[in-house]
Amino acid sequence: MTDVPASVALGTPGQPVDVDKSGDDGPPAGTPRRRRRRLRLWIPIGVIVAYVVAGVIGPVIARYDPIATSVTDRLLPPGSRLADGSLALLGTDQVGRDLLPQIMQGARVSIMVGAATLLLAGIVGAAIGILCGYLGGIVDAILMRLADIQLAFPSILLAVFVAAVLGSSVTNVVLTLSITTWPIFARVARAQTMATKSRDFANAARTLGAGAWHVVRHCVLPAVASPLLVIATVQLGFVIVAEASLSFLSLGIPPGTPSWGTTIANGRDYLASAWWIATIPGLVLAVFVVCVGVLGDELRDRSDPNLSTR
Amino acid sequence: MLRFAIRRLAISALVLFGAATVVFFAMREVDGDPAINQLGPDADPAAVEALRREYGLDASPVVQYVRFLQRAVTFDFGESFRLNDSATNLVFTHLTATAALAAAAFAIAIVVGFALGTLAATRPNGFFDRVVSVLSMLTQSLPSFWVGIMLILIFSRFLHLLPSSGAGSPAAMIMPAVTLALPLLSVVLRLVRSGLLDVLHEDYVVTARAKGLSETRVVGWHAMRNMLIPVVTVAGLEFGSLLGGAVIVETVFAWPGVGRLMTDAIAARDYSVVQACVITVAAIFIVINLVVDLLYVRLDPRVRESV
């Protein structure tokens, strides 16, 4: 639908705010700028690892019981003592469940959904993109037009519709979000494939009698992998926000499994009496998404400075 | 130019037809029957059957589909199953609320985005630029439903300044419009900033400065005109995603817009309203995309010649 402006439209909005534009040639090691760049890589990685660890072992240490209720512990502010003497560091919700284990459980669900979505959308998108880029012709025209059309619609609206049709379950959230994200992977894979398939080393392989599969596997795939990883990092933030939004609209994760979105939705009804229920999971989510965003931008700048302008 | 426009129109019509087809069959794949939804699970089977006949759901899917297409070309999507009004009417009344919200958000994003972007670009890497960069990254990554809830918490619950929901007064529009505007605002801001930085070193800007023109005129006229192209494209395309984001913002602030109408209608299996909503929204997107493409051709002489 938008062949002319698409390149501009897609290249620019995600462009990193490049504060270090003047230092493209890389100042010597040990300068403040270098150090800052290193921090921009390692701080987000550290935070993300902490989240993953909390999501994996948190629910094991602090058991979260989705159906437990405790009337005396309802709506306690952060730092209160519960009836059984334990400390509710982040407060309790409307039925007296401790928020901290709930949020850690939410981290587990959100990160798992995000990873599964990116895996599924990445594999399907890459396969379609490579197919289109390698074959060209009518297959390419049809599939890429489909991707264009889909990208022209706002993904959250599409996700709301697909999620409503599929019904709410963890698997369906992954499916929904994969359906809305595959074109992004397909586009990058296709562009990269087209750029690689006629390079000298690919031609050399063909001259030596290599078949299409061999060329794709050994020449195209390695070139496609690294930009796809970068895109996946950038998309992780969007996918997790989309999952939370769907769960907030009660179209995503079903109520029995706490996710950040469902906890925030619960807290919305208790804003007047218990601000922490909606606020804290949102902050936790925001920190994660910001870290993923910074990491994605940083990886993109490192892997290929031209990617953002393409 | 004319051929370009005609080709685009033809593709648009095809896309709209595709959207109509998908929504028609997808809705019928969903579990749940509108008649049973209406009458309750314990209803008399004869009554359910009668209601199904009244809605025209007893016919085969293909017959229903043909009937639906025939009526859709005249903007007739049938009666709502639950709201006692025609689907077309419902969509249009709710669309005005969404349009008002989207227009306000768009205006906020453009005005504030241009102002902050220009200020940031005049002193790249300065203190203000850095603050703006961090803020724009934050607004882009924060989920808008949470931002909305936080605004309600601060401005309605703690400060008692603004109403937390509804569309009764102009003040009620402030928070939803700001929430909706934030992601677009940061996109516009980044585009304006990087666009200006790119052109500020061009020869014609140097010439304009050398002529002794004031800085306001150099930046606001000579440089600005040339960075408008990407901004117009993206701002136009993003206007579409404003309508998408409206679904969430409308839910948070109980704004009576088309997004909420659609999510409610999907939940209630109100086929005619869902179809009307999806087709209307799709049509709006297609028109926006078309206008942006044509505007782009007008703005950029290089594209104009290649077309």
Q: Which residues on chain A are in Cβ contact (under 8 Å) with B307?
A: 4
Are A112 and A168 in contact by the 8 Å Cβ rule? The answer is: no
Is B234 in CB contact (< 8 Å) with chain A? yes
Inter-chain CB proximity B150 and A279 less than 8 Å = yes
Query: Which pair of tokens denotes residue A198?
Result: 């006629």
Residue A31 phi, psi dihedral angles, 5° rounding: -70, 160
Instruction: Tell me the helix, strand and coil percentages in chain A, rounded to 5.
Output: 70, 0, 25
Nearest to A1 among B11, B229, B238 (CB): B11
Mapped onto helix, strand or coil, the DSSP state of residue A88 is strand
Which residues of chain A lie closer than 8 angstroms to B266, CB-CB?
160-161, 164
pLDDT in tens, chain B (307 residues): 677 778 878 878 888 888 888 888 887 777 667 777 777 777 777 877 887 777 777 777 888 888 888 888 887 887 787 777 888 888 888 888 888 888 899 999 989 988 888 888 888 788 888 888 888 888 877 888 888 888 888 888 778 777 777 767 777 788 899 999 988 888 888 888 888 887 777 788 788 888 888 877 777 777 777 777 777 777 777 777 787 788 888 888 888 888 888 888 887 778 888 888 888 888 888 888 778 777 777 766 666 666 5
For strand A80-81 and strand A87-88, is the pairing parallel, antiparallel, or unpaired? antiparallel
CA-derived radius of gyration, chain B: 24
The CA distance from A172 to the nearest CA of chain B, in Å, is: 13
Q: From the list B141, B286, B292, which residue is nearest A286 (CB)?
A: B141
Q: What is the DSSP letter of A255?
A: T
Secondary structure (DSSP) of A25-44: T-PPTTSHHHHHHHHHHHHH
| CB-based contact B293 A272, cutoff 8 Å | no
Verify whether the Cβ–Cβ distance A271 to B152 is below 8 Å: yes
B260 contact A CB<8A: no
Q: Measured between alpha carbons, how far is A53 from A231 in angstroms, rounded to an integer?
A: 23
Task: State which residue of chain A sits closest to B240, comparing Cα positions.
Answer: A154
Q: Which residues contact A36 (CB under 8 A, 6 or more apart)?
A: none
**Judged by CB atoms within 8 Å, which residues 13-42 of B form the interface with A?**
15, 18, 23, 26-27, 29-31
ipTM over 0.85: no
Can you tell me which residue has the tokens 């920190």? A287
Contact B141 A241 (CB under 8 A): yes
- How many Cβ pairs closer than 8 A exist between chain A and B? 163
pLDDT by position in tens, chain A (length 310): 334 333 333 333 334 444 444 444 445 555 677 777 788 888 888 888 888 888 888 777 766 666 666 667 677 777 667 767 677 667 777 776 777 888 888 888 889 999 999 999 999 999 999 999 888 888 888 888 788 777 767 778 888 888 877 877 888 889 989 988 999 899 889 888 888 888 888 888 888 888 888 888 888 888 888 888 888 888 888 899 888 888 888 888 887 778 888 888 888 888 777 788 888 888 888 889 888 888 888 887 777 655 443 3
Report residue A264 as tokens. 């925030």
Give whole-number Cα distances, A176 to A91, A165, B178, B237, B291, in Å.
33, 10, 28, 23, 30
Inter-chain CB proximity B234 and A9 less than 8 Å: yes
Of B197, B233, B278, the CB nearest to A5: B233
pLDDT in tens, B148-203: 888 888 888 778 777 777 767 777 788 899 999 988 888 888 888 888 887 777 78
Q: Tell me the chain A residues in contact with residue B151 when contact means C-beta distances shorter than 8 Å.
A: none
> What residues 186-205 of chain B have any CB closer than 8 A to a CB of chain A?
187, 190-191, 193-194, 197
pTM score, whole prediction: 0.79
Beta bridge partners of B79: B86
